[in-house]
Amino acid sequence: MSAAVRDLFHELAGRSRTQREDHYARQRVPANVRAELESLFLFDESGGESIANAVGSAAGQLLRFETPFREGSMCGPYRLVRQIGEGGMGTVFLAERADGEVEQQAAIKFIRPGYDIPALMRRFLRERQILATLNHSGIARLLDVGRLDGTPYLVMEFVEGTRIDQYAEGRGERALAALVRQVADAVAHAHRNLVIHRDLKPSNILVDADGTPKLLDFGIAKNVETSDETHTMDRLMTPDYASPEQVSGGAQTTATDIYSLGGVLYNLLTGRPPRQPLDLTEMSADMAAIIQKAMREEPAERYQTADLFVADLDAFLADRPVAARRGKVFYAVRKFVRRHRLAAGASALAIGCLAAGLYAAAREREIAQRRFEQVKEASRQFQEMEGRLRRVPGATKERGDLVVSALQNLERLGAGSLDNEMAIEISNAYLQVARVQGVPVTPNLGKLADAERSLEKADSLIADPRFEKIRASNFLAAEIAHDRMILADTVKRDQGALAFAKKVIRRAEAGIANQPLTPTENARIVRIYSNVALTFSNLHLMDEAAFYSKRAVELARGPGEDPYQLSKALGVAASAARSAGQLDSALRFIREAHELTDRNPDMNNADFVFQLVATLWREGILAKNI
């Protein structure tokens, strides 16, 4: 124990962990000194002997103990050459084989004098056992174990290399991603063998002459299937790279190492310690998303395995979409909905990702039918999520983020050949996105030009003549043309509105020809024809307006009559009749509409209230003119 460590120990004894951390930060205490101090302070919390007795005992042992480990000492067939490392509880020597059998260098690690108390001795022996289970090119290998004068040691592969952060200097983003990918693969191997490292940091990773990173020091590693002797022993760590659960003393899992891996990658890219909040401005969006996902505060929101972290780095290096970006928006949306759960509802936890489902479908098209059902469900969930966000005050940004993420992944999925069912489903997804963007048929984000581009994409997916023979495609094409008609009418593009109105009629009539309508289909056509009639009226084509408004009324009286839809259709018919000078017919239509709203009130429904106001206004105008 150095004089500096001893003096700091006496100064900070009795203070809380937070107070000690504040002192370390103010005085810029080196990381290795902090680690040594904390390894001393933890014994006061271990439930065993007091800190004073533990340190007194350790100091006494240090004064009495003459270590057998010194230059020239023999450890089995190895001769110690020189000390090459020291930290925490261990000292490491460079050694060479001296029995004449083979020429070989090795690194020999043993417990430092004064640290051979039972708890740390058991930890040291556990490290030996853990290393014995690991066999990976990215992990320094265990060569041998033994004891010298009763003191255990372990013989490891000697890695002659450079600290990974020093090696990283001057290297680009892709090179560093490839480097950390190798480290993550080694960590994945450890996890598959049920080992958590718990101290991943640049000083524990050396890069050899071949450019291969080697993971060192499993001194505070643990086996997933076993518990530590004391909870406080878990809190040995390097604060800059420690996960939130390590800092707080919570349960540690493989997600703990994922956080630290993200911290190492951040450090290599920025040259700064990975302290929150992170500054991700100097890296690509994909890389920023990878680091953010790895270092999320909640363990469940990180990559769930090191293999998934490796997979995203592989995707980044191959210029493929990274999973972190697909999940980024929905992570933010989930957090937003949780903050507004009274408005958004608890079902937000079950809402999936439209884009992720669609992307998965594209990748596994050989099982198309099963994936197709997943796509349909994901699309439904997207609409439900958007509908709930629409009712949350101040959720405009989250709705916009939802749209952006969905469009990015729809673009990826839409590339290449699609079967008919999948093309129709993706086209419908674009239609739903467009309505959120700016089609004025529901509350929207007001982005009319963006909505038009999405509708164009939806249209193009089912433009082939073969789709005109598919009933579902005709209904969908009518809906898309209807929305494009509404947009054109809104911005006063009369010729465009007229062309789309004619397309609506053609595809709607093809959809309803020769087959009975379900109540849902009937309601869709009534709404479409009512709006077609309004558009014709706005274009001063009164005969067409009167014809299609009456067509809407006829259909609204059909199967599964919906009083609300019938009332809307009657209101449009009243307007068309009034414009044609048929005031008596107009008054008859509007009074029937008024009667329907009175019989079926729904004052909590904004659409119903709007329709009621429109009905009363039309009735008032007609009554005044007759």
- The Cα–Cα gap between 232 and 230 comes to 5
Q: Name the most confidently modeled range: 99-108, 116-125, 175-184.
A: 175-184
Contact 367, 375 (CB under 8 A): no
The pLDDT value given to residue 294: 96
- Separation between Cα atoms, residue 581 and residue 479, nearest integer Å: 31
234 vs 242: CA distance, rounded Å: 11
Residue of higher predicted confidence among 207 and 591: 207
Judge if 278 and 245 occupy the same domain. Answer: yes
pLDDT at 62: 44
User: Helix (H, G, I), strand (E, B), or coil: what is residue 144?
Assistant: strand
Q: Which of 552, 560, 521 is nearest to 536 (CA)?
A: 552
* 278/56: higher pLDDT: 278
Structure tokens at 586: 């107009």
**Tokens standing for residue 194:** 């049920």
Same domain, 151 and 165: no
229 and 258, same structural domain? yes
Domain ends where: 141, 157, 173?
A: 157
Helix H, strand E, coil C: the string for 542-574 is HHHHHHHHHHHHHHHCCCCCCHHHHHHHHHHHH
> Of the residues 116, 139, 157, which one is the last residue of a structural domain?
157
Q: Does 368 reside within a domain?
A: no
Phi and psi at residue 51, in whole multiples of 5°? -60, -40
76 SS3 class: coil
Task: Quickly list DSSP for 305-374.
Answer: SHHHHHHHHHHHHTTPPPHHHHHHHHHHHHHHHHHTHHHH-GGGGG---HHHHHHHHHHTGGGHHHHHHH
Q: What is the tally of structural domains in the chain?
A: 4
Query: Domain containing 220: what range?
Result: 161-317
d(CA 148, CA 114) in angstroms, rounded, equals 16
pTM, entire model = 0.50
Mean pLDDT along residues 409-420: 68
Domain identity same for 48 and 128:
no
Average pLDDT estimate for 27-55: 60
Cβ pair 137, 190 in contact under 8 A: no
Residue that is last in its domain, among 15, 41, 64: 64
| Domain match, 124 and 167 both | no
Given a cut of 80, whether residue 312 has pLDDT beyond it is yes
> Distance (Å, rounded) from C-alpha 427 to C-alpha 416?
14
Cβ atoms 151, 110 nearer than 8 A? yes
At residue 306, the pLDDT reads 93
With respect to residue 468, please indicate whether it lies within any of the assigned structural domains: no
Rg (CA), the chain: 35
Is residue 612 included in any domain, yes or no? yes
d(CA 319, CA 620) in angstroms, rounded, equals 63
Tens digits of residue pLDDT in 197-228: 989 999 999 999 999 999 998 877 777 655 54
State how far the Cα of 63 lies from the Cα of 528, in Å rounded to an integer: 92
Q: Which CATH number does the domain housing residue 546 bear? A: 1.25.40.10
User: What confidence category does residue 293 fall into, taking pLDDT thresholds of 50, 70 and 90?
Assistant: very high
